[in-house]
Amino acid sequence: MLLDVIVGLAIVLIIMYHFYPEIFLGGYSGVDVFFILSGYLITKAIMKINNSDKHNIIEFYKSRFLRIFPGILFIRSLRHQAFSRVR
């Protein structure tokens, strides 16, 4: 749970760095923190599946897809709307 909070904080640092780079010097280091902790959390989840009776990596990737794909669709639709108005 604490690691999720740290990942969230890293994302906020990255976003703030993009808006205010003169204030958030070194904000790009949030990218490193994000990738390291995300990799750790995903590896931990895979190890948990491997150690359980539900040893099914397909279900793991299915759940990851169902978690991430709606956000991708939402962002793409916002992007499409924004750029369709520009033309």
The pLDDT confidence band at residue 74, using thresholds 50, 70 and 90, is very high
What angle, 0 to 180 degrees and rounded to 10, lies between the N-to-C axes of helices 29-51 and 57-86? Answer: 150
Domain extents for the chain?
1-55, 56-87
* Tens digit of each residue's pLDDT (9 = 90 or more) over 44-66: 888 888 787 767 778 888 888 99
The two three-digit tokens of residue 77, written as one number:
């639709």
Distances from the Cα of 6 to the Cαs of 3, 9, 43, in angstroms?
Answer: 5, 5, 17
